[in-house]
Amino acid sequence: MVQTKLRSLAPKNDVISFLILAAILLVALPVLFDIFRLNLIGKYLTFAFVALGLVLSWGLGGILSLGQGIFFGLGGYAMAMFLKLEASSPENTQIQSTPGIPDFMDWNQLTELPWFWEPFHSFGFTVFAIFALPALFAYIIGAAMFKRRVGGVYFAIITQAIAAILTILIIGQQGFTGGVNGITDLRTLHGWDIRTDSAKYVLYFVNVVLLLITLVAAQYIRKSKLGRLLVAMRDSEDRVRFSGYDVSNFKIFIFCIAGIFSSIGGAMFTLQVGFMSPSLIGIVPSIEMVIFAAVGGNLSIFGAIYGALIVNWAKTILSESYPELWLFAMGALFIAVVLAFPKGLAGIYESHVQPWVDKKLKAIQKKKAEK
């Protein structure tokens, strides 16, 4: 009984894909690259959390959010606020007119810590906030929209507007948020210097393990009754509604999950890269996050991770050597994914590579049987 349940949760193909991915991320990449490149890959992988959330909400649930940067930012800023408070202890900030508050507040003539910064002295609260803030925010947005049956295009535009509002707010309130520079100059986590190479190695592995756990969670959701209901809803919302399900609650739930995933990614981004700024959470980055999921294939949780890796990798390489080509390439990628392969890399794999692999496997099995 347990075994059959496990098998339905984790079909053979998915287990193999999972093991291959884990081997690539945990063994192959750390062996192949030095810490500078590995740190970059870790940065790309933080976007994979967002792409994973988008596969659930957009691919499965049909809810396209153009504001995932909001949630990435919530997690990222929560972590950055904690690290910043640690970095601006009274001893470190003696030269300021008010020691003990972050440097940008001092520059903006603030004399005491704003109330909403206070709880971020505690690491426990910060971790709690990384999960609770996006969930709460997503719940408010989701409840307000889905209960009124706002969906599709309108939802996309409104989430985009919310991303715009948040960016304007962060940039405008420089004294509270660090403004357009964001929160920078982060140094230690509980006295552990996060800027050293050894810390970066550790953070990379923590990131990968978290990503793999998230992946398992996503797979669980995908295979559960909820996941099947989501697909049914995407294809025919009214039928599911008439079958007696409260469609909006499922949508809110999956939107919250996608938000939490993105927030974890944001927090890991702050830890590995050492800063958080509004340039990562506005409209443009939010739409780029959608393309990570789209390139990988918006129906495939594994595709999302490869999509985030490959697109970001290409971006780094192209914009290093041919900065003017990058936007052309990115634009062409958007158009190609929509027109030529709507199911992304995962779709190409399924229709071209997998049949070939299956055939080979069968041939091997046959040979064994003959012996």
Q: Which residues bind another protein (CB under 8 A)?
A: 64, 66, 144-145, 148-150, 152-154, 156-158, 160-162, 164-165, 168-169, 171-172, 283-284, 287, 290-291, 294, 324, 327-328, 330-335, 337-339, 342
Distance between CA atoms of 263 and 123, rounded to whole angstroms?
Answer: 16
Distance between CA atoms of 37 and 63, rounded to whole angstroms?
Answer: 34
The residue among 18 and 341 lying less far from another protein, judged by its C-beta, is 341
The residue among 26 and 287 lying less far from another protein, judged by its C-beta, is 287
Distance between CA atoms of 150 and 228, rounded to whole angstroms?
Answer: 22
Distance between CA atoms of 68 and 243, rounded to whole angstroms?
Answer: 31
- The single-letter code of the amino acid at 5 is K
The residue among 47 and 204 lying less far from another protein, judged by its C-beta, is 47
The residue among 206 and 283 lying less far from another protein, judged by its C-beta, is 283
Q: Which residues pair with 195 in a beta bridge?
A: none
Collapsing DSSP states into helix, strand and coil, what is residue 193? strand
Residue whose entry in the numeric block shows the structure tokens 């691919």: 59
Shortest gap between Cβ of 157 and another protein (angstroms)? 5
The residue among 203 and 290 lying less far from another protein, judged by its C-beta, is 290
Give the CA angle between residues 359, 362, 363 to the nearest 5°: 85
Q: Are 146 and 125 in contact (CB under 8 A)?
A: no
The residue among 101 and 289 lying less far from another protein, judged by its C-beta, is 289
Shortest gap between Cβ of 180 and another protein (angstroms)? 11
Shortest gap between Cβ of 54 and another protein (angstroms)? 12
Q: List, in order, residues 6 or more apart from 271 with CB less than 8 Å away.
A: 79, 83, 189, 194, 203
Shortest gap between Cβ of 146 and another protein (angstroms)? 10
The residue among 54 and 87 lying less far from another protein, judged by its C-beta, is 54
Shortest gap between Cβ of 65 and another protein (angstroms)? 11
Shortest gap between Cβ of 32 and another protein (angstroms)? 31
Shortest gap between Cβ of 99 and another protein (angstroms)? 29
Alpha-carbon torsion (196, 199, 201, 207), positive or negative: negative
Distance between CA atoms of 316 and 103, rounded to whole angstroms?
Answer: 31
